[in-house]
Amino acid sequence: MEISQPMFCEKASNLAASQVTVVIPAYNPGSFLDEALRSVAAQTAPPGRVIVIDDGSDPPVRPEAGPWPFQLDFLRLDHAGQAAARNAGLAAWTTDLIAFLDADDVWHPLKLEWQLVALIRHPTAACVGCRAILIDGTGHCTGLGPGGNSARILPLDRTSFIQGAADGILVPSMVLMRRGPWLPPGGFDGAFHTEDLVYFDEFFAREGEAMVVDLPLLKRRMHGGNLTFAYRNMLRGYMKWLKERVEPDCGPVVAGRLHARLLLICGLSALAVGNGPEARQLLRRALAAGAGGKALAGFLFACLGPEIASVVRRGRHAMAGRMAARRWSSIPRPS
């Protein structure tokens, strides 16, 4: 396989892309893993090393042959879950910078270049995220994640992270992180279904500074294997995080806003998988908790008949998908 490499902008060359290690946890990823690896290989700032953590896949993962513009290593584990797989990647990481990529997600070719530039411009930052567009299992764009398309590098503090966590404001596939004391020493906590949220929350609690590139540099795949669609587990994980960490640290007001938001997101997830009765119940609770207009709109949508709801959903996905595809295809180089 041949990968053509665009020239990495000279401004970022002072912070070597070769110091980036990418950790990809994979459990029965199918062809998604090859697509994820190709998106890393297509980076204008290709990393020095990629570690694929095979979390007990059956059969074992076997990506397509290279050559790859990075060192590609494999580590196979007995199946222990995504938290354990990411922690194995952290243990094998020896460079200055680390990035995570879920095996079913895809990076824009300019993702690492933009993030390296952000670290150069903000030398005290220890984590740089980005925005995302949403795709389905076939790769078709279905919508936009939170954030904008301003091509600015914006700060992200702990309160903003907590308020946007349920919407996916910072997920592992988005980040590039520096090694340092701000990294949680225990890694990802598998006791939480939402271990990535706890990891980033601990990063902020340890006074890590974060920035976000306000451009959709990630295609985040939403499909039947996602935690987003396993909304009951997602809700349990969120509630555990809220009760054990957010409310004691941030108080009842912040926790209350997060509670309303997570009920809304889980209700919309129930709606997306076709469980109308449970969607209505969750959205009614979200309304009572103060989630506002989106909860009301979601509840009314959940009351529609399945045929009408399907037509409306397809129309909304098509319109949002076209906007997302336009943004993806028009990402500028850092200036």
The string of pLDDT tens digits covering residues 216-264 is 999 999 865 554 567 788 888 889 989 998 999 989 999 999 999 889 9
Print the domain residue range for 156: 10-225+323-329
Short-list 11, 21, 71, 9, CA closest to 45? 9
Same domain, 153 and 258: no
pLDDT in tens, 23-82: 999 999 999 999 999 999 999 999 999 999 999 999 999 877 778 999 999 999 999 999
CATH number for the domain including 47?
3.90.550.10
Same domain, 189 and 270: no
Residue 146 DSSP SS3: coil
CB 8 within 8 A of CB 113: yes
CB 141 within 8 A of CB 324: yes
Same domain, 31 and 167: yes
Same domain, 209 and 290: no
What residue has token string 């180089």? 333
Q: Of 71-80, 83-92, 204-213, 300-309, where does mean pLDDT reach its minimum?
A: 300-309
Find the Cα–Cα–Cα–Cα dihedral 28, 32, 38, 44, rounded to 10°.
-110
Residue 140 DSSP SS3: coil
- Which of 160-164, 177-181, 233-237, 316-320 is the most confident on average? 177-181
User: How far apart are alpha carbons 269 and 97 in whole angstroms?
Assistant: 34
Residue at 227: amino acid letter = L
Residue 264 lies in a domain: yes
Same domain, 206 and 243: no
Residue 309 lies in a domain: no
Same domain, 97 and 244: no
Residue 102 gets the label, from left (phi > 0), alpha (psi -120 to 50) or beta, of beta
What residue has token string 């949508």? 301
CB 37 within 8 A of CB 22: no
DSSP 167: G
Same domain, 63 and 156: yes
Residue 53's pLDDT is: 97
What residue has token string 């939170």? 146
What residue has token string 């980005």? 130
Same domain, 109 and 144: yes
Residue at 33: amino acid letter = L
Separation of CA 30 from chain center? 19
User: How far apart are alpha carbons 273 and 269 in whole angstroms?
Assistant: 6
User: How far apart are alpha carbons 324 and 133 in whole angstroms?
Assistant: 6
Same domain, 203 and 55: yes
pLDDT in tens, 115-151: 999 999 999 999 999 999 999 888 888 889 899 999 9
Same domain, 136 and 73: yes
